[in-house]
Chain A
Amino acid sequence: MLKLTLAAALTSAALAAQFPAHAAEPVIGLITKTETNPFFVKMKEGASAEAKAKGAKLLSGAGKADGDNAGQVAAMENMIAAGAKTILITPSDAKAIIPAIKKAQEKGVMVIALDSPTDPQSATDALFATDNYQAGVLIGQYAKAAMAGKPVKIATLDLFPGHPVGAQRHNGFLQGFGLKSNDAKNNELARPAEVVCMADSFGDRAKGQTAMENCLQKNPDINLVYTINEPAAAGAFNALQKSGKDKNVMIVSVDGGCDGIKDVAGGKIAATSQQYPLKMAAMGVAAGVDYATTGKKVSGYTDTGVTLIAAKPVDGVESKDTKVGTELCWGKK
């Protein structure tokens, strides 16, 4: 798929070179972690739509799997060779991609990170991403209000050790709940006394289920579960249902994918922070067009917004209902 896209891109770039009048069309490259994750599919949709609307040409590519840095580097080099002046990238490896980004920037290419930052964040010209800390804070605030002062025993189903997004959501959740936590720049997972179990779910349904089962063994009185994303939440729900505890335990999550919103509507997840990959990509394309036409680069971090979606609203915390959530969700509705 990548090869076909690039072959087309190279051909059209070659053709464009023959007809200087048409070379004014801005060429923007979008590189996602994988082709198939619905999150990135939505991103590509948003990017394509914006490119069409603004008369830009979009090249797209991806790595083979999460963590495939080499694939992303190759895609970047090919896109630049095909004339891309702006690269939008969701980096698979926050550090390893940096040399390739530097090379691109030396050629005058603007590089914008989408969804997750590089390490350091300043290595890219700009970052359009969800404020993952804020995403955690919102569901933490919701949980606090929903729990209404009951003593709480929390299980956190995290991603895996060392991942900045996992840390931000986890620490944000605890902060929002009003517990002792770490700040947004800290990659370590905070562990106040109320957190009776921390387990890794790898963002996966089956592993989330295993993590929840083991936590319940450790502490059968867990009544609040923070999950890194909605597949992990679905797995956690399964485990709770099998132990007959699903009615008494609240699950909160982050992502806002359509499957996840369905689970909120179905009562499996109490609240989720919805993020907007489409917006990230659209903003990225707009910035790319701007750069191509005016030469002005965009910089810094732009928060692409997070909305709390909950089936049952609570006092003092603003949330939207699942109808809104469904309209804005990413994935197949």
Chain B
Amino acid sequence: MAAIPSTTLGAKLPPIGQLGPFIALLIACVAFGFTTDQFFSGENFSLILQQVTVVGVIAIGQTLIILTAGIDLSCGMIMALGSIVMTKLAADMGLPAPLAILAGIAVTAGFGLINGLLVTRIKLPPFIVTLGTFNIAFAITQLYSGAQTVTEVPPMMTWFGSTFALGGTNIAYGTILMILLYLGVWFWLRETGAGRHVYAVGNNPEATRLVGIPPERVLLGVYVLAGVFYGIASLMSVARTGVGDPNAGQTENLDAITAVVLGGTSLFGGRGMILGSLVGAIVVGVLRNGLTLMGVSSVYQVLITGILVIVAVTVDQLSRKGGR
């Protein structure tokens, strides 16, 4: 009685589509391992992980939003604002570091709330909304900081940038936090009702409404949660550079989206793996690191990243068509 699913190439793709980012990472690592001496070392890998931590954490929030068929162009700017708020409150107003950090995260979550309200209440497309908040967040960051870098940063804020020894290499605490956050969100998306509802809303929001889950509630939650992750990324940024930099985050907006797309999450919503975004972020970092070690111009990094993005989106399209 049941029909047999079509055996076109597309229907065969889903498993490959899921593994794609890992395969790309593997190929890149093997290639650089052969062409350079310095790539394959614990220290180098630890370094790459530290270099992708800020984008990696931002990408967690971005993944959630893209899973709901939305997009957030303001993520990097919100992150920069958070880092300025945290550092200026500590440096100028003498707020104790933990409070300043929480205040920074509250501000980024607040921006997430604004994005979410504009999307759910005023029903504006996320692209437009976040294009607007991108500019607003940037302007506020520049005005509040006076376009000055904040250099008097309390040691607690840079703690996540410090490292501990593990099996002969140094791992940063920030790296561990990033991995823990990814695992936590992975669990939440896979194993809890709220997490599954995120997928459902991205896949068919009307269906969720008809079964009694208001999609607006899920969306609002997702945008606010993303804002929290942007705030954590702010802290990671301060921890890495040791300062509050008002010019940070300008390329992170697209970098985070790139990581999510490379990781196999569909821009159409409802499909994707959170861990893929981590792999996507690492792939970009590996490319940059490996090409520098090879002495190749950074233009090639941009070129290869662009090609990988096209490949990732094509694989996504084909695997969707195959499943009808």
Q: Which A residues fall within an 8 A CB radius of B?
A: 35-38, 41, 64, 160-161, 197-200, 202, 204-207, 209-211, 213-215, 217-218, 231, 234-235, 238, 242, 259, 331-332
Contacts and interface: CB of A to CB of B under 8 A. Distances in A.
- Residue in A35, A202, A213, A259 whose Cβ sees the most chain B Cβ within 10 Å: A213
Contacts of A242: 161
Contacts of A199: 292, 298
A332 B150 CA distance: 12
Given A36-B142, A331-B148, 4 more contacts: A199-B298, A206-B245, A213-B51, A259-B148
17 contacts: A35-B142, A197-B292, A204-B247, A205-B149, A205-B247, A206-B240, A209-B241, A211-B292, A213-B51, A214-B47, A214-B288, A217-B47, A217-B289, A218-B36, A218-B292, A238-B242, A332-B148
B237 interface: yes
Contacts of A161: 297-299
Contacts of B292: 197, 199, 211, 214-215, 218
B147 A41 contact: yes
Contact of A218 (B43, B142, B250, B293): B293
B203 interface: no
A36 B144 CA distance: 11
The 10 closest A-B pairs by CB, nearest first: A214-B292, A200-B298, A36-B142, A36-B147, A210-B51, A218-B293, A199-B292, A161-B299, A214-B289, A217-B38
A130 to B, nearest CB: 20
Given A160-B298, A259-B149, A238 B241 contact: yes
Contacts of A210: 51, 288
Contacts of A231: 149, 245, 247
Contacts of B50: 213
Contacts of B299: 161
B295 interface: yes
B73 to A, nearest CB: 14
Contacts of A218: 36, 38, 292-293, 295
Nearest to B294: A218
A36 B38 CA distance: 40
Contacts of A332: 146, 148
B243 interface: yes
